[in-house]
Amino acid sequence: MLPVITIFGHDFSMYAICACVGILLALFVAMKTAKRLKVDDNNVLVLGLVSAIGIFLGGHILYALTNFHLIIEFFQKIDQVNSFGLFLNCFLIIFGGQVFYGGLIGGLIAGYIYLKKTKKDVALYAYIAAPSIPLFHAFGRIGCFLGGCCYGIEWEHGITYHNDPIEIANGTPRLPIQLIEAGCNFALFGVLYYLQRKGKCKNSLIFIYLAAYSIIRFIDEFFRGDAYRGFIGPLSTSQFISILIFIFAICGIIRLWIKNGKSVARPSASSSRKS
């Protein structure tokens, strides 16, 4: 649709622009929430920057793993790589894309390590950050739509790409699944932000996000038309990961229910003395 935009003679990726807008808005929302909860918003900013590194690395690593055949082919023909330029070109082909789940997992791990190392309340910061994740992702999916990646299945009433850098998408009307997922992420952001403003689900908000998005993504994958995202048997890589994340999220919610149930059932020291 609009892979790049030219400003003062320089080309800028629309995906990168949308992602940057998403990051800034996500940080803004999280920092406003931190102030409302009387948490130092500078810590949220640092957490966001650390998580961004994890997002960047994780997204590229999972992209490479979904195209594992390219890694195998590289090592099989490594004797033909006779210059640094050729090596760099191979490296960019193998790690040149991003997979959201890789970024999500990488960002969560990086953020968790930062919070544990600095002895901060992991549950509190997860609660603050939870609504910002789908907000950022929504803008990322708009960037995917404009950039022409992650396109949908063929649909006669869909949108036709003519200048897509991925040639296979050109000339065929396709379902704008990127915009549909963006809409789902905006809706998910709205629900999570509402719960957060009402002070509900303080310990489980991040698990609610993970469970809800894993369902959205599992269904969404049936309407994707690109094959380069990788498959594990009949399921795409993201569908397989969605199942694992859904199980993880449900286990987390159940664990919290059990923990909260025990704390409610356990009498306090003062009540024990009165009895």
pLDDT in the model for residue 168: 61
- Residue-wise over 40-62: b if at least 16 C-beta within 10 A, else e? ebebbeebbebbbebbbbbbbbb
275 pLDDT more than 50: no
Q: pLDDT class for 50, splitting at 50, 70, 90?
A: very high
24-37 pLDDT, tens digit each: 999 999 999 999 99
Token pair, residue 212, equals 């809800």
Percent of the chain residues past pLDDT 70, beyond the cut:
91
Token pair, residue 167, equals 């040639």
State which of 79-93, 159-173, 260-274 shows the largest mean pLDDT: 79-93
1 pLDDT more than 80: no
Across residues 127-154, what is the average pLDDT?
93
pLDDT in the model for residue 254: 94
Across residues 247-266, what is the average pLDDT?
82
pTM: 0.87
**Number of C-alpha atoms within 13 angstroms, CB side, residue 147?**
20
Q: pLDDT class for 91, splitting at 50, 70, 90?
A: confident
Start-to-end C-alpha separation, the chain: 72
